[in-house]
Structure 1
Amino acid sequence: MRRRTFLQGGGVALLGVGLSARSWAADALSRQDLAGDVAILREAMKLHPGLYRYQSPQMFEGRVQRFAAEFGQAPDLAGRYLALAKLTAAIRCGHSYGNFFNQKKAVAAELFDRPTRLPFHFVWVDRAMVVTGDASGTLTRGTRVIALNGEEPAVLRDRLVGLVRSDGHNDAKRISLLEVRADDRIETFDVFQGLLAPPSKGEHRLSLVEPGGRRRELSLPAIGLKARQASMNAPEDKADAPLWQWAMRPDGIAVLTMPGWAIWDSKWDWKGWLSERLDSLSSAKGLIVDLRDNEGGADCGDPILARPIDRTWTPPTLQQRLRFRRTPASLDPYLDTWDQSFRTLGEKATPLPGGFFLRPGGEDALTIAPAGKRLPVPIAVLISPVNSSATFQFAQNLRAIGGGKLYGRPTGGNLRGINGGCFFFVRLPASGLEFDLPLVGYYPERRQPDAGLQPDVFVAPTIADIAAGRDPVLERAAGDLVRG
Structure 2
Amino acid sequence: MKKFLYLFAILLIASPVLTAQTRYTVTELKTELSIIRAALKESHAGAYRYTDSLTLEKEFAVLESKLTAPLTGHEFYKLVNPVLALIRDGHTKFHISGKPDDLFGFSKSGYFPLALYWIGSKAFVRANPYHIPAGAELTAINAKPVGQIKTQIFSNMLVDGYEESMKYAYINENFPGYYGAFVGTFSSFEITFRFKGKTTKKTIRGTQAASFSKSSVQKRPYVVDYTVPGTAIIKISAFQPGHAGLGFEDFLEKTFQTITKAKIAKIILDLRDNEGGIDAYGIKLYARLTDKPFSYYDRFTVAGPPDYSFSKYATIPTELQYLRPFIKKVGKEYHFMQKDGLGEQSPAKLNFTGTLVILTNGRSFSVTSEFASIARDNNRAIFIGEPTGGAAEGNTSGTFIFLHLPYTKLDLAIPVLGYHMKLSHLKSTGKGVMPDHLIIPSITDVLHGRDRALEKALSIR
TM range (shorter): 0.7 to 0.9
Task: Say whether the 8 Å CA contact 1:346–1:360 is kept in structure 2.
Answer: no
Question: What is the deviation of 1:285?
Answer: 5.2
Would the alpha carbon gap of residues 200 and 357 (structure 1) be closer, same or farther in structure 2, given more than 3 Å must change?
closer
Q: Which whole-Å deviations, capped at 9, do the CAs of 1:372-403 have from their partners, x for residues lacking one? A: 74337522111122223111111112224444
Contact 2:291 2:352 in 1 (8 A): no
1:49 and 1:419 in contact (8 A); partners too: yes
Equivalent residue for 2:398? Answer: 421
Determine which of 163, 181, 192 is the counterpart of 1:207: 192
- Aligned mate of 1:228, from 199, 206, 212: 212
Of 136, 140, 144 in structure 2, the residue corresponding to residue 143 of structure 1 is: 136
Q: Give CA deviations for 1:174-202 in whole Å, capped at 9, x if unaligned.
A: 3332222xxxxxx4x4333103333542x
TM-score (ref. length: structure 2): 0.82
How far apart, CA to CA, are the structure 2 residues paired with 1:287 and 1:129? 35
Q: Check 1:146–1:35 CA distance in 2 against 1; reply closer, same or farther (3 A cut).
A: closer
- The residue aligned with 1:75 is 71
Check 1:376–1:41 CA distance in 2 against 1; reply closer, same or farther (3 A cut).
Answer: closer
Identify the range of structure 1 (375-384 vs 422-431) with the bigger mean alpha-carbon deviation. Answer: 375-384
1:289 match: secondary structure: strand
Q: Which residue of 2 aligns with 1:121?
A: 115
Higher strand share: 2
SS at match of 1:111: coil
Relative to structure 2, which stretch is displaced further, 431-440 or 68-77? Answer: 68-77
> Which amino acid in 2 is paired with 1:131?
V
The AA in structure 2 aligned to 1:340 is T
- Taking a change above 3 Å as real, the CA distance of residues 106 and 258 of structure 1, as seen in their structure-2 partners, is closer
Contact (CA 8 Å) 1:327, 1:344: kept in 2 or not? no
For 2:329, give the aligned amino acid. Answer: P
| Deviation (angstroms), 1:50 | 2.1
Aligned partner of 1:86 in structure 2 is 82
Q: 2:200 and 2:223 mapped to 1: Cα distance?
A: 38
Match of 2:381 among 383, 395, 404: 404
State how far apart, in whole Å, the 2-side matches of 1:444 and 1:283 are: 32
Hey, what's the Cα distance between the residues in 2 that align with 1:289 and 1:225? 36
- Asked if residue 454 in structure 1 is aligned to residue 434 in structure 2, the reply is yes
Cα RMSD of the aligned pairs, angstroms, is 3.3
Match of 2:369 among 392, 396, 405: 392
Instruction: String of CA shifts for 1:438-473, please: whole Å, max 9, x gaps.
Output: 112234578851222211222222334334432211
- Which residue does 1:96 correspond to in 2? 92
2:315 equivalent in structure 1: 336
Matches within 5 A, 1:309-320: 309-315=290-296, 317-320=297-300
Cα distance 1:41–1:196, how it changes in 2: closer, same or farther (>3 A)? closer
Indicate yes or no: 2:342 matched with 1:365.
yes
Identity of aligned residues (%): 20
**CA gap 1:224/1:379 in 2 versus in 1, 3 angstroms:** farther
Unaligned runs of 5+ in 2: 1-19
Q: 2:202 aligns with which of 205, 209, 218?
A: 218
Shift of the 389–363 alpha-carbon distance from structure 1 to 2, 3 Å rule, reads closer
What is the aligned partner in structure 2 of residue 43 from structure 1? 38
Match of residue 26 from structure 2: 31
Query: Is the 8 Å Cα contact of residues 95 and 101 (structure 2) preserved in structure 1?
Result: no
1:294-333 superposed matches below 5 A: 294-299=274-279, 300-315=281-296, 317-328=297-308, 330-333=309-312
Residues matched between the structures, number:
434
Residue 17 of structure 1 is matched in structure 2 by: none
TM-score (norm 1): 0.78
Distance in 2 between residues matched to 1:26 and 1:82, nearest whole Å: 15
Determine which of 330, 333, 346 is the counterpart of 1:352: 330
Q: Assess, with a 3 A threshold, how the Cα gap between structure 1 residues 220 and 253 changes in structure 2: closer, same or farther.
A: farther
Match of 2:55 among 54, 59, 63: 59
CA displacement at 1:78 relative to structure 2: 0.6
Identify the match of residue 168 of structure 2 among 166, 175, 187: 175
